Chain A
Amino acid sequence: MKLSDINAIEIEKGTSLWSNSWYRLKQNRLAMIGLFILLIMVIISLFTPRIAPYSYEVQDLNLGATPPSAEHWLGTDIFGRDMLTRIMYGGRVSLAVGFLATAVSLIIGVTWGSVSGFSGGRVDSVMMRIVDILYALPFIIFVILLMVVFGRNLFLLFMAIGAVEWLTMARIIRGQVLSIREKEYIDSAIMTGIPKSRIISRHILPNAIGPIIVYTTLTIPNVILLESFLSFLGLGIQPPMCSWGLLINYGVETMEEYPWLLIFPGVVLSITLFSLNFLGDGLRDALDPKSTRR
């Protein structure tokens, strides 16, 4: 075949399953709204130090708690701190914990689950029994232990939450790997001589990504709520730092006199969780291979 012929072939670009899924996702209104809101939240959080109107910790005891006004759009808390600013900073913390802890659980869970599922036999049994045992341990005791030993630390918070969430992720991945492993294209890869690790990374994981993405999107809300819970117990964020969870807890204490202290952080958290859930649902439908086939 002449070189000129090679250049002359125009190879038609195919439509991958990804573009197919993206197209389907775009058609899901709720999911796109969720995505949009999420993006806005993330952008605001990233730029918070620059754009926040006030500081989150400077107190103004003369001011005290005030309802929404022109200077303080969302009012102030009992220490005179601007609520809008505190909610923005709180968002930074909550979203950071959400994404990072989920990322940790993702990495551990995917590796554990895929190795376990692909190896099968004894290895699989042992690895899954370890998961079962860890599952049975009470999470709170574990986190308290960590906090007591290593002190309160934002980074540690990520690790602790990630260390708990990875268990479910591992089980889900293992399930996916088990079913994909039976497919004939995996046999083809084996018969070509490709080593196990490459088969997992090149062939199995890309096809398992659907449920991985969906479950990840649905884990983030769990993590955020978990963080709120820990902070409520006094194990998470330390004041004057705040997270949405903490803000809500303070708001509950003064619910009757100063309802806005509860309403605003509550609404913001709820909107974020809804968005994540809508997006997760939309992704699950869009990535579902059964509906993708012609």
Chain B
Amino acid sequence: MDEPLLDINNLKVYYPIFKGSLFKREKVNIKAVDGIDLKIRQGEVIGLVGESGCGKTTVARAIMCLTKLNSGSVILEGEDLCKLNSKELKRKRPEFQMIFQDPFASLNPRMTVFKILSEPLLYHKLAGKTELTGILSNLLKEVGLSPRDMGKYPHEFSGGQLQRIAIARALSLQPKLIIADEPVSALDVSIRSQILNLLIRLIRDRSLTMLFISHDLSVIRHISDRVAVMYLGRIVESGSNERIYSHPAHPYTHALLSAVPVPDPDKEKSRKRIILKGEPPSPINPPSMCTFHPRCPYVRDKCSTITPEFEPIQEGHMVACHFPLSS
């Protein structure tokens, strides 16, 4: 299939804030997402990686129509999600679901697992009351939990188990696209592998398409087919998993990879890290033109005067940089 499942074009999400005093107020836009293009093909897992403030969670919320976008389109199988009216949107909702970061906050503490999981099904009339127990049993087993736990409440489970329940709920409506926003970041290290393996198995078994968001480069490396790197509201580089990790072209990606600590003492002590100077700038006052130029170790004059275009340097490998690093 050539048509992508999800086609995002020039997505922009701005938050207005008012600066100044009582009598001299000016409206300033925080450009949380400043023009994103992303195409996800059926069956792909795209990893969206970036540090805090880069806008990756805002992208997720915009796709899910939880946040209004300022301009751009989010087309899922031919329909632009954000231009649908509420009835059409309700019909379309089962096709795209999300898994959130904090497992303790993503489930209603006053509802039993049974109620939590059956609510979407009953609402969309995908199951009758009598079929529920059977369907939910299968769902729980699929995520590695026992059907006997259906009557329990969220506070009776551990973080990893709660995340499994959240995954089960996301799957219950048989979605085509799942957005996972930092699903393992809040979990203990020894449990992360359980959940990651589960997600990989589910993606394979159900032919899911997934947008996996994380700041953790090792997790992204493990799970994605293609990777997009975000910085200050823009995608600065995208390409295949292999390509990005072995031959990063954007200086930021390069620095990011160099900063990740690896559990190998000899390597750690001998490596030469690229230490970026300064702090990530705030989205209220982004630097001009290439937003990365103040921190870039390879900055040249052109970088502060002309904004780089997001262009391919190789088949399937795109970068927004005037002087991309060569392999």
Contact = CB atoms under 8 A, between A and B. Distances in A.
**Most chain B beta carbons < 10 A, residue from A10, A12, A14, A292:** A14
Given A9-B148, A12-B148, A194-B123, A187 B134 contact: no
B302 interface: no
B93 interface: yes
A6 B153 contact: no
A187 B63 CA distance: 13
Q: Which of B109, B124, B156 has the most CB of A within 10 A?
A: B109
A293 B153 CA distance: 12
B66 A6 contact: no
Interface in B51-89: 61, 64-66, 89
Interface residues of A, number: 32
B114 interface: yes
Interface size class of B (residues with CB under 8 A): 35 or more
Interface stretch (B4-12, B21-29, B94-102, B204-212): B94-102
Contacts of A17: 109-110, 153, 155
A193 B100 contact: no
Q: Chain B interface mostly helix, strand, loop or mixed?
A: helix
Nearest to A16: B153
B155 A292 contact: yes
Nearest to B179: A191
A23 to B, nearest CB: 14
Interface in A191-215: 191-194, 202-203, 206-207
Interface in B150-188: 150-153, 155-156, 166, 169, 173
B66 A14 contact: no
A1 B123 CA distance: 23
B108 interface: yes
Given A1-B137, A6-B133, A193 B89 contact: yes
B150 A11 contact: yes
Contact of B151 (A1, A13, A185, A203): A13
B155 A12 contact: no
Contacts of B151: 11-14
A193 B123 contact: yes
A184 B106 CA distance: 5
A15 B153 contact: yes
Contact of B148 (A11, A184, A193): A11
B289 to A, nearest CB: 35
Task: Name the residue in B100, B101, B173 with the highest tally of chain A Cβ atoms < 10 Å from its Cβ.
Answer: B100
Given A1-B134, A1-B138, A194-B119, A185 B153 contact: no
A124 B163 CA distance: 34
A285 B108 CA distance: 21
B100 A187 contact: yes
Among A184, A187, A188, A207, find the residue whose CB has the most chain B CB atoms closer than 10 A. Answer: A188
B230 interface: no
B187 to A, nearest CB: 15
Given A16-B110, A17-B110, A190 B152 contact: no
B42 interface: no
Interface in B9-36: none
A202 B111 CA distance: 9
A122 interface: no
A202 B108 CA distance: 10
A294 interface: yes
B149 A12 contact: yes
B180 to A, nearest CB: 13
Contacts of B124: 192-193
Nearest to A194: B123
B105 A183 contact: yes
A294 B106 contact: no
A266 B66 CA distance: 56
A9 B109 contact: no
Contacts of B97: 191
B90 interface: yes
Contacts of B89: 193
A293 B64 CA distance: 30
B161 to A, nearest CB: 13
Across the A-B interface, the 5 shortest Cβ-Cβ residue pairs: A14-B152, A193-B93, A184-B106, A193-B90, A184-B100
19 contacts: A9-B148, A12-B150, A12-B152, A13-B151, A15-B156, A16-B110, A17-B155, A187-B66, A187-B106, A191-B64, A191-B65, A191-B97, A192-B119, A192-B123, A193-B93, A193-B124, A202-B119, A206-B108, A207-B108
